[in-house]
């Protein structure tokens, strides 16, 4: 069907497609643009697209006044932390399920997935109470645990599908070559699985960074990540659009970039392998 | 492949994850179920008493529940329709040769990576603000009155935001599925005399049906618990106009401190999600056997 | 030293007896081929010997020691996999060196052995390449190199030529046979291709459904098959089986006669037949005929034979090449 397009049709369709794409992207574009305007400029009508006084004052203010850096660090700690803990649990688990499957393996995998499908609100109460009573509220440790547990099923699942793609006879060859189990994993399995592990890590960082239920309910000041910080702009005083835009741009930029590089992995991870 | 020794190793290696998830799910769930049978208010701790199914009765006969149920279904349903239809169309669009298609794809995918709180506030302020927002300007330029979204059509506003966020997800999935369609099939159909529309309905769409099902099921699971957008923009209001079940439970638990009632509500949410989950698990399970 | 003996080796998967019980003797330096149709258990048997699967019961003796409970590495065997199973992230050099590295050999020793193996297999120019940059035949050689370098008691080959195209297969067959002549190590070779079995083996083990049907030298199996299965499996095209009156004349339930042992005449003979399809290969001609009263038969004639569809011919089986089988398919002696 592709080869039936005329050159003119090709250009026309491309223009149409780009218009659609730009429309979809517009809110993000507008947000970034606003971050470079003064507050007055941001709320003025009609809105200006290019000819205004570009300024970086918002970015400076966001850091100076509200200690943006601390929230960003929390986001980093929570996402990277929960990812590393997750890998610690998920890699052996996925390895076992991929290479030593038992009759129960399939059921176990599906059950793990089902825990991800439980709405968090169903356990909000006990988790909140447990956190409160054990002094875990507003702690980075507590949040890392929660985020790790929420995403563990996806990590196990993704690693499982990647491990399954490693031909088992290569591992058998290693065994015949005299490799003990640890050596087999270190010298043969892990090098071959590095792309898969990297993808899983990226996906997990994205999901943890953007998580906006537990991070909103279980943190107040110390452990609050960027999601909570941005949420605090929902009831501000005075003009705040530019600052909001600046803070938001900073908050989403890293994930946007990571996400752009990991689209395929996203599909695999979020559909639990049901779509390849 | 598996020899005696490695089966045991396998069990040991998968045990921590399984135990961790078991504790994470079963223990809190058990506690929620237990709480749901108590009259337990955080403001008067230590005075819990067993009330049986009273909380469920209150919750399920509370007009707030019906309102939130309706909102939930409306929200989920609308977003599903918008994202699936939009996803198919955009997927078809991106499957064609376009100048700079790679970059275009990045633009279309971008909204999914924006954190929900940013998403919500950017829409609420920069776009939908009745005085200084983008939409207001467009409306005024065309001679219309600008809409005060969050007073007049709050749920619609939320639906728009959430759809915008999830559309890329649907596009990604459906595009991936589209690109796995054999060119051979399409060419065979062309030899058989089928035009583009017939090809779409008889070949493309059936091939996509599986991916569409996956998209619908997964989105439903996540959409049932939309929270951040509501939290940050309307707080559930005005009135109950944008309260869904998740938010209702939240208000009862952490704003009204009614643990018993909130727990009952939470269980209701879990049951709803489980219904969808059963279908999704079966679908994935079938895929595992492939 | 590579003498291997299997005593009552049994393998059960769940409730399925994949291998009910096998006894086998393999002498040092022998080239033994396990052959049989898909699912007959030949690969399973190989993997049991290798240690990649556990036996359910029985003994596997390598040079007199029972290794049934030993890990693969401890058995002193090397395996060449059907898919070669090369380590994609390592160079050819490191692929070959891996086993020695696992055994803790010094760098100097490793280098010497790897270079040696590379020379034998013509891989010296490719040592720094990755498997992805090699052709099928080259990868095969790397797999063999990896196996040679550990100086095993025996080599195990699991259908190594299946993934190669026809021409390459013929070449590699000769190379492997040449290797065996040079190294004189025991080799156990699994294939479903009876041509490979006949051309390469000192001893063939024919398997069906986990059972050993017959063990013997290639020509023994060709000339004296123990039952209908072996008779029909060895030799291509397949042996013809004729029942009815003709078999009764030979005092048995069915006779078997190979296509190459039937004389063809346009004038006279034992059995009248009509040609359905004639395959002309130049060096020989295969005639697929319908023998009157007995059904389809295949007959082989040397050279070019100008026969085609609908031609009427006469077939005369060579009397001393006729195999007799009873009602259970067991071979009876010659008349």
Question: What average pLDDT does range C218-231 have in this prediction?
Answer: 93
Give chains near B: 3+ CB pairs under 8 A. A, C
Task: Say whether A217 and B274 touch across the interface (CB within 8 A).
Answer: no
- Provide the domain count of chain B: 1
Task: Say whether C87 and A172 touch across the interface (CB within 8 A).
Answer: no
Q: Report the pLDDT value the prediction gives residue B288, as an integer from 0 to 100.
A: 62
Same domain, yes or no: A226 and A116: yes
Same domain, yes or no: A41 and A81: no
- Sequential DSSP letters for B171-199: HHHHHHHHHTS-HHHHHHHHHTT--HHHH
Alpha-carbon span C252 to C246, nearest angstrom: 9
Same domain, yes or no: A186 and A146: yes
Least Cα separation, residue A52 to chain B (angstroms): 16
Nearest residue of B to residue A172, measured between CA atoms: B1
**How many Cα atoms within 13 Å fall on the side-chain side of residue B92?**
16
Alpha-carbon span B154 to B160, nearest angstrom: 10
Residue B47 is assigned to a structural domain of this protein: no
Same domain, yes or no: A106 and A50: no
Task: Say whether B281 and A114 touch across the interface (CB within 8 A).
Answer: yes
pLDDT tens across B104-158, in order? 888 888 898 898 988 888 888 888 887 778 888 888 888 888 778 888 888 888 9
Least Cα separation, residue B1 to chain C (angstroms): 6
Is the pLDDT at B290 greater than 60, yes or no? Answer: no
Chain B residues touching C52 at Cβ < 8 A: 1, 3
Is the pLDDT at C198 greater than 90, yes or no? Answer: yes
Mutate to test the interface with C, among B1, B2, B3, B9 (most CBs of C within 10 A): B3
- Determine the structural domain holding residue B257 and report its residue range: 53-284
Chain C residues contacting A via beta carbons under 8 Å: 50, 52, 71-73, 77-79, 81-83, 85-89, 98-99, 102-103, 146, 150
Least Cα separation, residue C132 to chain A (angstroms): 13
Nearest residue of A to residue B18, measured between CA atoms: A112
Least Cα separation, residue B63 to chain A (angstroms): 20
Nearest-CB residue to B267 (from A46, A113, A122): A122
Same domain, yes or no: A72 and A48: no
CATH code for the domain in which residue A106 is found: 1.10.3720.10
Task: Say whether C54 and B4 touch across the interface (CB within 8 A).
Answer: yes
A167 — contact with chain C (CB < 8 Å)?
A: yes
What 3 state SS string does chain C have?
CCCEEEEEEEEEECCEEEEEEEEEEECCCCEEEEECCCCCCHHHHHHHHHCCCCCCEEEEEECCEECCCCCHHHHCEEEECCCCCCCCCCCHHHHHHHHHHHCCCCHHHHHHHHHHHHHHCCCHHHCCCCHHHCCHHHHHHHHHHHHHCCCCCEEEEECCCCCCCHHHHHHHHHHHHHHHHHHCCEEEEEECCHHHHHHHCCEEEEEECCEEEEEECHHHHHHCCCEHHHHHHCCCCCCEEECHHHHHHCCCCEEEECHHHEEEECCCCCEEEEEEEEEECCCEEEEEEEECCCEEEEEEEECCCCCCCCCEEEEEECHHHCEEECCCCEEECCC
The rounded mean pLDDT for chain C is 90
C-alpha of A145 from chain center: 16
Residue B19 is assigned to a structural domain of this protein: no
Is the pLDDT at C335 greater than 70, yes or no? Answer: no
Least Cα separation, residue C41 to chain B (angstroms): 15
Same domain, yes or no: A35 and A105: no
Task: Say whether A227 and B115 touch across the interface (CB within 8 A).
Answer: yes
The greatest distance separating any two alpha carbons of chain A, rounded to the nearest whole angstrom, comes to: 75
Least Cα separation, residue C54 to chain B (angstroms): 6
A190 — contact with chain C (CB < 8 Å)?
A: no
C85 — contact with chain B (CB < 8 Å)?
A: no
Lowest mean pLDDT among A242-251, B41-50, B69-78, C125-134: B41-50
User: Which region holds residue C76: left if phi is over 0, alpha if psi is between -120 and 50, else beta?
Assistant: left
CB within 8 A of C233, min separation 6: which ones? Answer: C35, C36, C37, C194, C206
Q: Residues 142-181, chain B: which have Cβ within 8 Å of A?
A: 164, 167-169, 172-173, 176-177, 180
Residue A77 is assigned to a structural domain of this protein: yes
Same domain, yes or no: A128 and A179: yes
CB within 8 A of B25, min separation 6: which ones? Answer: A115, A118, A123
Which is higher by pLDDT, B99 or B4? B99
Q: Report the pLDDT value the prediction gives residue A267, as an integer from 0 to 100.
A: 74
Q: Residues 8-27, chain B: which have Cβ within 8 Å of A?
A: 9-14, 16-18, 20-21, 24-25, 27
Is the pLDDT at B245 greater than 60, yes or no? Answer: yes
Give chains near C: 3+ CB pairs under 8 A. A, B
Chain A residues touching B122 at Cβ < 8 A: 27-28, 30-31, 244-245, 248
CB within 8 A of B270, min separation 6: which ones? Answer: A118, A119, A122, B29, B32
Residue A144 is assigned to a structural domain of this protein: yes
Is the pLDDT at C30 greater than 60, yes or no? Answer: yes
Asked which of A19, A34, A56 is the last residue of a domain, the reply is: A56
Nearest residue of A to residue C150, measured between CA atoms: A177
Task: Say whether A173 and C146 touch across the interface (CB within 8 A).
Answer: yes
What pLDDT band is residue C196 in, cutting at 50, 70 and 90?
A: very high
Task: Say whether C99 and A178 touch across the interface (CB within 8 A).
Answer: yes
Same domain, yes or no: A93 and A227: yes
Least Cα separation, residue A53 to chain B (angstroms): 18
Is the pLDDT at B43 greater than 80, yes or no? Answer: no
How many residues does the structure list for chain C?
A: 335
Q: Report the pLDDT value the prediction gives residue B237, as an integer from 0 to 100.
A: 75
Task: Say whether C54 and B1 touch across the interface (CB within 8 A).
Answer: no
Q: How far apart are the first and last CA of chain A?
A: 23
- Provide the domain count of chain A: 2
Q: Percent of chain B having pLDDT more than 90? A: 10
Task: Say whether A125 and B35 touch across the interface (CB within 8 A).
Answer: yes
What pLDDT band is residue C224 in, cutting at 50, 70 and 90?
A: very high
What's the CA dihedral at A268, A269, A275, B2 to 10 degrees? 80
A192 — contact with chain C (CB < 8 Å)?
A: yes
Is the pLDDT at B34 greater than 90, yes or no? Answer: no
Structure tokens at C145: 């190199």
Q: Report the pLDDT value the prediction gives residue C50, as an integer from 0 to 100.
A: 92
DSSP β-bridge partners for residue B50? B38
Alpha-carbon span A91 to A97, nearest angstrom: 10
Nearest residue of A to residue C75, measured between CA atoms: A176
Same domain, yes or no: A176 and A42: no
Q: Report the pLDDT value the prediction gives residue B78, as an integer from 0 to 100.
A: 93
Same domain, yes or no: A29 and A160: no
- Sequential DSSP letters for chain B: ---HHHHHHHHHHHHHHHHHHHHHHHHHHHHHHHHHTEE-BTTSTT--EE-TTHHHHHHHH-HHHHHHHHHHHHHHHHHHHHHHHHHHHHHHHHHS--TTHHHHHHHHHGGGGS-HHHHHHIIIIIIT-TTTSHHHHHHHHTTPPPP-HHHH-HHHHHHHHHHHHHHHHHHHHHHHHHHTS-HHHHHHHHHTT--HHHHIIIIIHHHHHHHHHHHHHHHHHHHTT--HHHHHHTTT-STTTT--HHHHHHIIIIIS-BHHHHHHHHHHHHHHHHHHHHHHHHHHHHHHT-
DSSP β-bridge partners for residue C324? C255, C332
Per-residue pLDDT of chain A (276 residues; tens, 9 = 90+): 445 567 777 888 888 889 999 999 999 998 888 888 888 777 777 777 777 778 888 888 877 777 788 888 999 999 999 999 999 999 889 988 888 888 888 888 888 888 888 888 888 888 888 888 888 888 889 999 999 999 998 899 888 888 888 888 898 899 888 888 888 888 998 888 888 888 889 888 988 999 888 998 888 888 888 888 888 877 766 678 888 888 888 888 888 888 888 777 777 777 766 665
Q: How far apart are the first and last CA of chain B?
A: 19
Is the pLDDT at C106 greater than 60, yes or no? Answer: yes
Q: Residues 183-202, chain B: which have Cβ within 8 Å of A?
A: 186, 190, 196, 199
Residue B21 is assigned to a structural domain of this protein: no
Alpha-carbon span A256 to A248, nearest angstrom: 12
Helix axes B205-223 and B154-179, enclosed angle (nearest 10): 140
* CA-closest candidate to residue B231, choices A213, A211, A273: A213
Task: Say whether A178 and C73 touch across the interface (CB within 8 A).
Answer: yes
Lowest mean pLDDT among A24-28, B53-57, B107-111, B166-170: B53-57
Residue A130 is assigned to a structural domain of this protein: yes
Mutate to test the interface with B, among A13, A24, A131 (most CBs of B within 10 A): A24
Residue A272 is assigned to a structural domain of this protein: no
Is the pLDDT at B5 greater than 60, yes or no? Answer: no
What is the number of other CB atoms lying within 10 angstroms of the CB of residue C29?
16
Same domain, yes or no: A128 and A26: no
Residue A249 is assigned to a structural domain of this protein: no
Give chains near A: 3+ CB pairs under 8 A. B, C
Least Cα separation, residue B141 to chain A (angstroms): 9
Nearest residue of A to residue C100, measured between CA atoms: A177
- Determine the structural domain holding residue A171 and report its residue range: 67-233
Nearest residue of B to residue A212, measured between CA atoms: B228
B73 — contact with chain A (CB < 8 Å)?
A: no
Chain C residues touching B7 at Cβ < 8 A: none
Q: Report the pLDDT value the prediction gives residue A272, as an integer from 0 to 100.
A: 63
How far is CA A238 from each of CA A39, A40, A58, A242, C222, rounded to the nearest angstrom? 10, 11, 14, 11, 98
What pLDDT band is residue B264 in, cutting at 50, 70 and 90?
A: confident
Mutate to test the interface with A, among B11, B36, B107, B191 (most CBs of A within 10 A): B107
DSSP β-bridge partners for residue B214? none
User: Which region holds residue B13: left if phi is over 0, alpha if psi is between -120 and 50, else beta?
Assistant: alpha
Residue B269 is assigned to a structural domain of this protein: yes
What pLDDT band is residue B2 in, cutting at 50, 70 and 90?
A: very low
Same domain, yes or no: A146 and A44: no
What pLDDT band is residue B32 in, cutting at 50, 70 and 90?
A: confident
Residue A241 is assigned to a structural domain of this protein: no
Task: Say whether A92 and B16 touch across the interface (CB within 8 A).
Answer: yes
Q: Which residues of B36-70 are buried (b: 16+ CB within 10 A; e: fewer)?
A: bbbbbebeeeeeeeebeebbbebbeeeebbebbbe
Alpha-carbon span A138 to A255, nearest angstrom: 23
Mutate to test the interface with B, among A72, A117, A130, A224 (most CBs of B within 10 A): A117
Residue A175 is assigned to a structural domain of this protein: yes
Q: In what order do the strands lie in the sheet with C284-291?
A: C262-265, C312-317, C271-280, C284-291, C295-302
CB B29 within 8 A of CB A118: yes
Task: Say whether A177 and C83 touch across the interface (CB within 8 A).
Answer: no
This complex has an ipTM of 0.81
What pLDDT band is residue B65 in, cutting at 50, 70 and 90?
A: confident
Task: Say whether A99 and B1 touch across the interface (CB within 8 A).
Answer: yes
Nearest-CB residue to A92 (from B14, B123, B167): B14
């Amino acid at each position: 069907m592709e080869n039936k397009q005329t050159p003119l049709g090709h250009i026309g369709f491309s223009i149409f497609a780009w218009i659609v794409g730009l429309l979809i992207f517009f809110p993000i574009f507008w947000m970034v643009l606003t971050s470079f305007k003064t507050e007055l400029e941001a709320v003025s009508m009609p809105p200006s697209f290019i000819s205004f006084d570009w300024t970086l004052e918002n970015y400076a203010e966001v850091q100076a006044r509200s200690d943006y850096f601390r929230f960003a660090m929390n986001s980093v700690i929570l996402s990277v932390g929960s990812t590393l803990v997750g890998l610690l649990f998920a890699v052996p688990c996925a390895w076992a399920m991929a290479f030593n499957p038992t009759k129960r393996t399939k059921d176990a995998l599906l059950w793990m997935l089902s825990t991800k499908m439980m709405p968090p609100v169903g356990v909000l109460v006990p988790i909140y109470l447990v956190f409160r009573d054990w002094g875990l509220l507003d702690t980075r440790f507590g949040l890392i645990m929660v985020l790790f547990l929420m995403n563990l099923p996806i990590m196990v699942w993704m690693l499982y599908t990647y491990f399954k793609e490693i031909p088992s006879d290569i591992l058998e060859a290693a065994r015949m070559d005299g490799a003990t189990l640890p050596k087999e994993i270190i010298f043969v399995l892990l090098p071959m699985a590095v792309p898969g592990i990297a993808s899983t890590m990226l996906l997990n960082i994205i999901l943890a960074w953007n998580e906006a239920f537990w991070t909103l309910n279980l943190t107040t000041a110390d452990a609050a990540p960027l999601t909570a910080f941005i949420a605090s702009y929902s009831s501000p005083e005075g003009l705040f659009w530019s600052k909001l835009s600046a803070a938001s741009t900073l908050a989403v930029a890293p994930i946007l970039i990571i996400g752009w590089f990991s689209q395929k992995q996203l599909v695999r991870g979020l559909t639990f392998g049901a779509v390849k | 492949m598996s020899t005696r020794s490695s089966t045991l190793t396998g069990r040991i290696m998968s045990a921590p994850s399984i135990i961790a998830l078991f504790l994470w799910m079963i223990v809190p769930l058990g506690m929620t179920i237990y709480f749901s049978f108590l009259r337990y208010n955080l403001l008067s701790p230590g005075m819990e008493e067993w009330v049986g199914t009273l909380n469920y009765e209150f919750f399920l006969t509370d007009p707030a529940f019906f309102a939130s149920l309706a909102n939930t279904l409306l929200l989920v349903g609308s977003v599903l329709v918008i994202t699936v239809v939009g996803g198919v169309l955009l997927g078809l669009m991106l499957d064609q040769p376009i100048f700079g298609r790679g970059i275009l794809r990045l633009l279309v995918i971008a909204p999914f990576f924006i954190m929900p709180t940013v998403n919500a506030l950017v829409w609420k302020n920069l776009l939908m603000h009745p005085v200084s927002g983008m939409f207001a300007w467009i409306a005024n330029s065309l001679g219309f009155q600008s809409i005060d979204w969050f007073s007049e059509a709050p749920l619609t506003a939320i639906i728009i935001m959430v759809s915008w966020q999830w559309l890329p997800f649907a596009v990604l999935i459906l595009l991936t599925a589209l690109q796995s369609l054999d060119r051979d099939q399409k060419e065979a159909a062309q030899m058989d005399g089928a035009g583009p529309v017939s090809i779409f309905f008889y070949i493309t769409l059936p091939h996509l049906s599986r991916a569409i099902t996956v998209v619908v099921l997964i989105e439903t699971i996540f959409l049932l618990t939309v929270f951040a957008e509501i939290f940050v923009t309307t707080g559930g209001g005005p009135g109950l106009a944008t309260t869904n079940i998740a938010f209702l439970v939240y208000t009862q638990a952490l704003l009204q401190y009614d643990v018993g009632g909130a727990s009952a509500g939470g269980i209701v949410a879990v049951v709803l999600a489980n219904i969808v989950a059963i279908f999704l698990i079966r679908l994935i399970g079938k895929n595992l056997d492939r | 030293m590579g003498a291997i003996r299997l005593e009552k080796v049994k393998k059960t998967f769940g409730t399925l007896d994949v291998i009910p019980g096998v006894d086998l003797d393999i002498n040092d330096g022998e080239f033994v081929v396990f052959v049989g149709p898909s699912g007959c258990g030949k690969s399973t048997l190989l993997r049991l010997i290798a240690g990649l699967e556990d036996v359910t019961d029985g003994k596997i003796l390598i040079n007199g020691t029972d290794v049934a409970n030993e890990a693969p590495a401890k058995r002193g065997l090397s395996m060449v996999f059907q898919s070669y199973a090369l380590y994609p992230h390592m160079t050819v050099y490191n692929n070959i060196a891996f086993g020695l590295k696992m055994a803790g050999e010094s760098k100097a020793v490793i280098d010497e052995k790897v270079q040696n193996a590379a020379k034998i297999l013509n891989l010296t120019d490719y040592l720094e390449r990755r498997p992805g940059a090699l052709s099928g035949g080259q990868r095969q050689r790397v797999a063999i190199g990896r196996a040679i370098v550990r100086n095993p008691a025996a080599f195990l080959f699991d259908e190594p030529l299946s993934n190669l195209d026809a021409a390459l297969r013929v070449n590699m067959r000769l190379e492997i046979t040449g290797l065996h002549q040079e190294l004189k190590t025991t080799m156990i070779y699994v294939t479903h291709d009876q041509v490979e079995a006949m051309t390469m083996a000192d001893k063939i083990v024919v398997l069906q459904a986990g059972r050993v049907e017959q063990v013997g030298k290639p020509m023994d199996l060709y000339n004296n098959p123990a039952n209908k299965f072996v008779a029909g499996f060895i030799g291509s095209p397949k042996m013809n089986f004729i029942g009815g009156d003709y078999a009764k004349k030979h005092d048995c339930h069915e006779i078997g006669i190979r296509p190459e042992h039937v004389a063809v005449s346009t004038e006279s003979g034992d059995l009248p037949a009509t040609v359905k399809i004639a395959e002309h290969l130049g060096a020989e001609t295969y005639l697929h005929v319908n023998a009157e009263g007995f059904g389809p038969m295949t007959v082989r004639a040397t050279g070019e034979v100008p026969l085609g569809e609908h031609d009427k011919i006469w077939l005369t089986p060579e009397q001393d090449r006729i195999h007799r089988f009873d009602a259970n398919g067991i071979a009876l002696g010659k008349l």
